[in-house]
Structures are given as structure tokens and as C-alpha cells.
């Protein structure tokens, strides 16, 4: 598949986990890819090297998703390096699992700034570059729609917010031929949420398939939505959750 030949994509938080899988998949489908990271410069460099070894083009940019200036600069650097931008994947996100009453304002700010404000800032910067056929794709969560677990109140609030942001923005930018979609993973095996972790059993229990998903399950959905066959999909929240919300 080379659906994305001559396209440029920026994936925030692409040094590991779901973001790294998305970066590799978009590159395999032909896109030039920029990834941002906040920690783990080595991991980010490895993702770039893997993409280059497979014949693709990639760069890694240090940019804190919670810092609107850094995010905007990362969009500009991507567009100037590769001569434009076609696809933004807002993937960077954090979770601080804690009972809401014990959550500090600083923790709330960090989650809101990374998962919501960063998405808004990156999207606004990307819209200055996107042309007809452009794609804004945000990685939300199945808990942005329905939640059966405690300790996720602030995180779920940000993921619900990106769902409504997606719906609202899709109507604003549709006349320009740009689509805006939200991919909502369920439990996916990553460093952040390991399938063998203490917290895995209750997550497995709420899925219909009774297992964690793989990062490539999410990357495949992103690749489809980024591609030309998804041109009639916009304002959608597409759930990849093993039936957690079924």
C-alpha cells in the first residue's frame, strides 16, 4: 500500500507506544513523517532510524505537547522541512490515574494542557498549512464516550472534550476539503498501559473480546482515516476498543 505517497504527516508523542506505531505505519504507506517527543530522545531517534532503514523519510522534534509555542514551532518545522503538511495526528497524551478528590490542580492542568490545549494549539497551527484533502486525526479514548472505571475523571473529561472538538471543527473546515476525526482506543498494550500490568485485569474484563489490543490496531485505523478512501468520513469518533463500549 502506498496510499500516502507525497504526503507529510506530523505525529505528536511519536517516540513510543501508539504514536510510534502510527508513525511507522504512515511511513510504510508512503508519507514523510515528523514525530514529536518530550522525553526519550533515543527512542525517538530509533523510530526515525527504523523508518529510514525501511526507505522512508522521518525527523524527530523535541516539543512538549503542553506548551503551545513548542507545538506551533514543531508544526512549522515539519512544514518547512518537508515543504508542507497534509496530516496531523494529535497522539501525545497522559493519564494520571487517581481518585478525583485527591487530584491536585497542578495534575489537572498537566492532563488538560497535554490532552486538550496541546491538541487545540497543534490543530490551529496545522490548519495554516493544510490544503484540500488535509486530515486532522486525534487519538481520544473510549472513555471519552463511556467510562466503566474509577480514577479517570480528569482524563475522561479531556477525551470527551476532544470528541466534541472534532465534531465542531469538522463543520468549520469541511468547506476547505479537510476532514477531522477522533480515534478512540480501548486498552492497548503500551509502556503506559501494559497488558501484563496490575491494572490490566479490570480493563480486560470490560472488553467484549477479553484482551488488550495491539498498537498496530490503532495505527491501521489512523492509516485508513488518513488515506484517500476515507474522504467521506468527518466529525466521527471511531472506536478501536475490543468492544469495551459495546
Shortest distance, CB of residue 132 to ligand NAD, whole angstroms?
Answer: 27
Residue 139 contacts ligand NAD per CB under 6 A: yes
Cβ nearer to ligand NAD, comparing 133 with 216: 216
CB 155 within 8 A of CB 111: yes
Q: Report whether 96 contacts 155 (CB < 8 A).
A: yes
Specify the residue, 39 or 210, whose C-beta has the smaller distance to ligand NAD: 39
- Residue 167 CB, nearest approach to ligand NAD (Å): 18
Closest CA to 92 of 20, 144, 146: 20
Q: Which one from 82, 155, 165, 212 is the annotated catalytic residue?
A: 155
Q: Is 192 in the site for ligand NAD (CB under 6 A)?
A: yes
d(CA 166, CA 164): 5
What SS3 state is found at 202? helix
Residue of 8, 11, 13, 237 interacting with ligand NAD (CB under 6 A): 13
| Catalytic-residue membership of 155 | yes
**Is residue 49 part of the contact set for ligand NAD (CB under 6 A)?**
no
Which residue, 44, 40, 41, 39, is CA-closest to 11?
Answer: 44
Nearest of 156, 69, 62 to residue 121 by alpha carbon = 69
The CA-atom distances, in angstroms, between 191 and each of 118, 131, 228 are 21, 35, 32
Which is closer to ligand NAD, CB of 83 or CB of 194?
194
Q: Is 18 in the site for ligand NAD (CB under 6 A)?
A: yes
Residues that bind ligand NAD (CB under 6 A): 12-13, 15-19, 36-40, 64-66, 91-95, 114, 139, 141, 185, 187-188, 190-193
Amino acid at each position: 500500500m502506498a496510499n500516502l505517497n507525497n504526503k507529510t504527516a506530523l505525529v505528536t508523542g511519536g517516540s513510543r507506544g501508539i504514536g510510534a506505531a502510527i508513525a511507522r505505519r504512515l511511513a510504510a504507506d508512503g508519507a514523510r513523517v515528523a514525530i514529536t517527543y518530550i522525553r526519550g530522545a533515543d527512542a525517538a531517534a530509533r523510530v526515525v532510524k527504523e523508518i529510514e532503514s525501511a526507505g522512508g523519510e522521518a525527523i524527530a522534534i523535541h516539543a512538549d505537547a503542553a506548551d503551545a509555542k513548542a507545538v506551533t514551532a514543531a508544526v512549522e518545522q515539519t512544514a518547512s522541512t518537508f515543504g508542507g503538511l497534509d496530516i496531523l495526528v494529535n497522539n501525545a497524551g497522559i493519564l494520571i490515574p487517581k481518585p478525583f478528590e485527591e487530584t491536585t490542580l497542578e495534575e489537572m492542568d498537566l492532563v488538560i494542557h497535554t490532552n486538550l490545549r496541546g491538541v487545540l494549539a497543534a490543530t490551529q497551527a496545522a490548519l495554516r498549512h493544510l490544503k484540500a484533502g488535509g486530515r486532522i486525526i486525534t487519538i481520544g479514548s473510549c472513555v471519552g464516550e463511556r467510562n466503566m472505571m474509577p480514577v479517570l475523571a480528569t482524563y475522561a473529561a479531556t477525551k470527551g472534550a476532544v470528541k466534541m472538538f472534532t465534531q465542531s471543527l469538522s463543520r468549520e473546515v469541511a468547506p476547505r476539503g479537510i476532514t477531522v476525526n477522533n480515534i478512540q482506543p480501548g486498552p492497548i498494550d503500551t509502556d503506559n498501559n501494559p497488558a501484563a500490568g496490575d491494572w490490566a485485569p479490570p480493563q480486560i474484563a470490560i472488553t467484549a473480546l477479553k484482551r488488550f489490543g495491539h498498537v498496530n490496531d490503532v495505527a491501521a485505523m489512523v492509516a485508513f482515516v488518513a488515506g484517500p478512501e476515507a474522504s467521506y468520513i468527518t466529525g466521527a469518533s471511531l472506536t478501536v476498543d475490543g468492544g469495551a463500549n459495546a
